[in-house]
Amino acid sequence: MLSYLSVSCVRPSNEDQQKMINFDPASSLKFKPNIVWIVAEDLSPILPAYGDSTVITPNIDRLAREGVVYTNVFSPSGVCAPSRCALTTGMYPSSIGGHNMRVQYVKAHMDQLGLELYEVVPPPEVKMMSQVLRENGYYCTNNDKQDYQFKPPVTAWDESSLKAHWRNRTKDQPFFSVFNIGVTHEGHVTRPYRKQLMRYHDPDFPESTGNPANFGDKISEEDWPLNIPEDMDVPVPPYLPSTEIAVNDIRRVYSNIIELDRQVGIIISQLEEDQLLDSTIVFFYSDHGGPLPRQKRLIYDSGIKVPMVIRYPGQIGAGYYDDQLISFIDFAPTIFSVSGIKIPDYVQGQAFSGKYRSRKERKYIHAAADRFDAQVDMIRAVRGDRYKYLLNFYPDKPYYLPVKYREQMAIMKELLRLKEIDSLDTYQAQWFREEKVKEELFDTWEDPHELHNLARDPDYAGKLEELRVECARWMESINDMGEIPEAEILENFWPGREQPVTVAPSYEVIDGELIFRSATKGASIGYKLYGFNESAPEQWEVYTRPLVISVDTRIEAVAHRLGYAQSESIKIEFR
């Protein structure tokens, strides 16, 4: 058994916890901070900072020692695309039609359902969070995953690529940089990482290792060893079997965490090398819960509860735990808040830090499960600090629905094998019940794996009614689109199943200033400005105000509303 490094975090006493309610680590900042997001995939809070000592994670432990560990952070979905839709908009996916998994990709799934690939069309006022930051002077980079349920416009990022990095910005420009680390993804419980996922291997990772043309290839089996002993004991949740085949997949999950931690360390080292660590707010979190069966895709805590550690400049709040409820829809308003940017009215979340921090902490978080691949279901969840309510809209459907991608995993095959020979125990068999109950209620303190439904226990009738009412209130307040057939949503977004096209910018010159407009409501305009003897820059600027023009200048401009096709470009010359 491996030993582990204690993170020396201090859970506050009741008195100190009361003080923490009014404590905001970002409140004392006297400057516009840089912001870095380090985003893992498919990871529950199974880290030393959360009491799981199975593997050593020195770099995440360091963030925990020097930052704040948040213990109640939840994605609004148990899968990536809806969750990332929420992260980038600050809106619940089911309120804008982004609740079904991957509407843009995997044509075979859509063909089975008689649908077309499409993009979500949010209300016209909605912008990607990164664009709002760019409009306020930030240099914004994404390395590299997107998966927002719509194509990002050219105004969304200064860079979005495998080489995107804050180091390419103008000197002293504040930055928002996202680094997606995919080694903990469900797919890499089954098979080796793609080479592109190892791009953080090299301390100079913007140049990466190897030829980017080959990044889609997998590394060799020899380069994908278990980072932990093959006979090491690992925790097995009660809903999963403890056979050697199953346990080996769980070992791989922990092995991947070690690789994740090493890559986190490289990014932190680069901030130190650039003398930026103490002017940067560093977020570490994952896009939803764990990769294993009965985790990913579901909205039990195993599918939506995530680790989050934030290191604030100057190590403000170092070593503390913060137990407030936080949802992914709170991330965008919090980023605006710590950057001193007024939160747009359309945002449904609330800031948990910064200038515009909400005066009232959350009482509940909310989550949704809908279509996954070609399997259609609908579940809604409400969770307070202790009790969790789930409402099953299709109780005639089984809990377990076959998803081919998940069935590649050895542990999933093992579950199905044991089911076939009637060798699952009571907890393991729960997921394979042929019908659901309409309502579920769990005490997450006493029953963290959500195995004992209290909905029919009269002692909990009051709590059941409270959360039932809250679920209905929330769904109505956000105009939840879950009960609308996806074909109808598609037709509403793209009439005749044809993608609408953004109208190209029009322009006029008034008093030496160039003014752009687009007839498409909600369209953003990107432009490139360069001299006659210059090549057009790669990067599009965000149009926010009239441009002062001069002679011997070329300008190219496009317009793009989220969910629409980008307009044709227009080119203007001033001689």
- What is the CATH number for 104? 3.30.1120.10
Whether 20 shows a pLDDT value over 60: the answer reads no
Whether 543 and 566 map to the same domain: the answer is: yes
Whether 481 and 529 map to the same domain: the answer is: no
Q: How far, in Å, CA of 280 to CA of 272, rounded? A: 10
Residue 210: its pLDDT value, please? Answer: 58
Domain final residue, candidates 207, 241, 273: 273
Whether 19 shows a pLDDT value over 60: the answer reads no
Non-local CB neighbours of 147 within 8 Å, separated by 6+ positions: 80, 81, 84, 102
Whether 512 and 566 map to the same domain: the answer is: yes
Whether 484 and 537 map to the same domain: the answer is: no
Q: What is the mean pLDDT of residues 375-389?
A: 98
* pTM: predicted TM-score of the whole model, two decimal places: 0.95
Condensed to tens digits (0 to 9), the pLDDT of residues 283-293 reads 999 999 999 99
Q: What is the mean pLDDT of residues 289-311?
A: 98
What sign does the CA torsion over 88, 93, 95, 99 have? positive
Only one residue has tokens 């160039």, namely 514
Higher pLDDT, 21 or 457: 457
Residue 5: its pLDDT value, please? Answer: 31
Domain annotation covers residue 526? yes
Q: What is the mean pLDDT of residues 390-416?
A: 97
Residue 199: its pLDDT value, please? Answer: 85
Q: What is the mean pLDDT of residues 146-156?
A: 97
Domain annotation covers residue 338? no
Residue 28: its pLDDT value, please? Answer: 84
What sign does the CA torsion over 519, 520, 525, 529 have? negative
At 325 the three-state DSSP class reads coil
Whether 107 and 189 map to the same domain: the answer is: no
**Is 60:5 a contact under the CB 8 Å cutoff?**
no
**Tokens matching residue 64:** 């925990």
Residue 146: its pLDDT value, please? Answer: 94
Domain annotation covers residue 391? yes
Only one residue has tokens 């009637």, namely 422
Domain annotation covers residue 261? yes
Longest CA span, the chain: 81
At 230 the three-state DSSP class reads coil
At 278 the three-state DSSP class reads helix
Residue 206: its pLDDT value, please? Answer: 61
Lowest mean pLDDT among 195-209, 221-235, 507-521: 195-209
pLDDT band at 22 (very low <50, low <70, confident <90, very high): low
Higher pLDDT, 427 or 2: 427
Condensed to tens digits (0 to 9), the pLDDT of residues 80-107 reads 999 999 999 999 999 999 999 999 999 9
Detail the DSSP E strand segments found in 229-291: 280-286
**Tokens matching residue 556:** 């190219």
Out of 9, 80, 140, 471, which one is annotated catalytic? Answer: 80
Domain final residue, candidates 273, 295, 311: 273
Parallel, antiparallel or unpaired: strands 387-392 and 506-510: unpaired
Q: What single-letter amino acid sits at 370?
A: D
Q: What is the 3-state secondary structure (H, E, C) of 24-57?
A: CCCCCCCCCCEEEEEEECCCCCCCHHHCCCCCCC
Count CB-CB contacts under 10 A for residue 211: 9
DSSP secondary structure of 91-111: S-HHHHT--SS-SSS-HHHHH
Condensed to tens digits (0 to 9), the pLDDT of residues 34-49 reads 999 999 999 999 999 9
221 phi, psi to nearest 5 deg: -60, -35
Residue 470 forms beta bridges with which residues?
A: none
DSSP designation for 12: P
Residue 409: its pLDDT value, please? Answer: 97
Higher pLDDT, 19 or 398: 398
The domain spanning residue 510 has which CATH number?
Answer: 2.60.40.10
Nearest to 310 by CA among 301, 302, 320, 300: 320
**How many structural domains compose the chain?**
3
Condensed to tens digits (0 to 9), the pLDDT of residues 314-367 reads 999 999 999 999 999 999 999 999 999 999 999 999 999 999 999 999 999 999
Whether 489 and 537 map to the same domain: the answer is: no
Whether 224 and 109 map to the same domain: the answer is: no
Domain annotation covers residue 536? yes
Q: Which residues form the domain of 523?
A: 506-574
Per this entry, what is the length of the chain?
575
Domain final residue, candidates 473, 499, 525: 499
Q: How far, in Å, CA of 90 to CA of 319, rounded? A: 28
Whether 13 shows a pLDDT value over 80: the answer reads no
Domain annotation covers residue 215? yes
Condensed to tens digits (0 to 9), the pLDDT of residues 458-474 reads 999 999 999 999 999 99
Cα torsion for 76, 79, 85, 90, to the nearest 10°? Answer: 20
Only one residue has tokens 């949503």, namely 489
Whether 304 shows a pLDDT value over 70: the answer reads yes
Say whether 140 is catalytic. Answer: no
